[in-house]
Amino acid sequence: MDCGTSMVKYILFIFNTIVSIIGILSIVYGVLILKSIGTIEVNGQVGFPPQALMPIILISLGSIVVFISFLGCCGAIRESVCMTMSYAVFLLILLILQLTLVILLFTNKEKFENAMGNVIENAWMADTTHKDGVFDTIQKSLHCCGSSSALDYVAKGELLPSSCCSGSCLNPANYYPGCRGKFIKLMTAGSENAKYVGIGLIGVELIGFIFACCLANNVRNYKRRNAY
């Protein structure tokens, strides 16, 4: 095999090794965030609170990246046209999905915020026992009170639960802000970071896609020449 093809082969291998490490670090980081958020238990059912959405997406994306990078490393080392092209196709699909997601995040910020706000509003309306139900666990997790504010409890003629306050609920100064606004702020900050991280990943994946196509083409041509 010529020097140029060998160089592309080792560049692609090193590239995917680095990307695999980044993917593993993303998984670890997502797990640490999930651990810090913790789980909630409602009626004997254990699950994650709404703000766990971002780290779960991060873990899922990291797992996909590790799998694809592993395929790329194997394809490069074994000089397999099939594996390298499979890697390139998977990478292209991931690239397109990420590009679509980034564009949607840039162009639908208001819709995204409304959707996140609806998550809290739906949880508030669906929970008939705010004191010890699902919404109480959300308040404990987010350090917030009511859907919009503590006045939501007043409007329903209910006493504020202890999860609504940083101290005594007899002092209005101790009331936490509304869950809707706090959740939107949290998720918007996460989506802002996701947009720019996504742009960086798209650039990196595009480089990997180009190298994979070059390697597969060179290996295919090399095998054709040796067949005669």
**Which H/E stretch holds residue 42?**
strand 40-42
Is position 88 within any domain?
no
Q: What is the pTM of this model?
A: 0.67
* Whether residues 108 and 69 fall in one domain: no
Is position 111 within any domain?
yes
Is position 93 within any domain?
no
Predicted local confidence at residue 46, as pLDDT:
61
Q: Evaluate whether 92 touches 152 at the Cβ level (below 8 Å).
A: no
Domain total in the chain: 2
Range of the domain at 63: 1-78
Is position 87 within any domain?
no
Cα dist from 224 to 9, 74, 159, 193, whole Å: 18, 21, 79, 46
Predicted local confidence at residue 37, as pLDDT:
67
Mean pLDDT, to the nearest integer, of 84-99? 86
SS3 175: strand
Is position 89 within any domain?
no
* Whether residues 71 and 112 fall in one domain: no
Mean pLDDT, to the nearest integer, of 23-29? 85
* Whether residues 60 and 116 fall in one domain: no
> Tell me: the pLDDT tens digits for 114-126?
888 888 888 888 7
Mean pLDDT, to the nearest integer, of 46-62? 76
Residue 158: other Cβ atoms inside 10 A: 13
* Whether residues 122 and 19 fall in one domain: no
- Judged against a pLDDT cut of 90, whether residue 176 lies above it is answered with yes
Percentage of the chain exceeding pLDDT 70: 85
177 confidence band (pLDDT: 50, 70, 90)? very high
Instruction: Write down the H helix ranges in the chain.
Output: 3-37, 53-78, 81-107, 109-126, 134-142, 151-155, 179-227
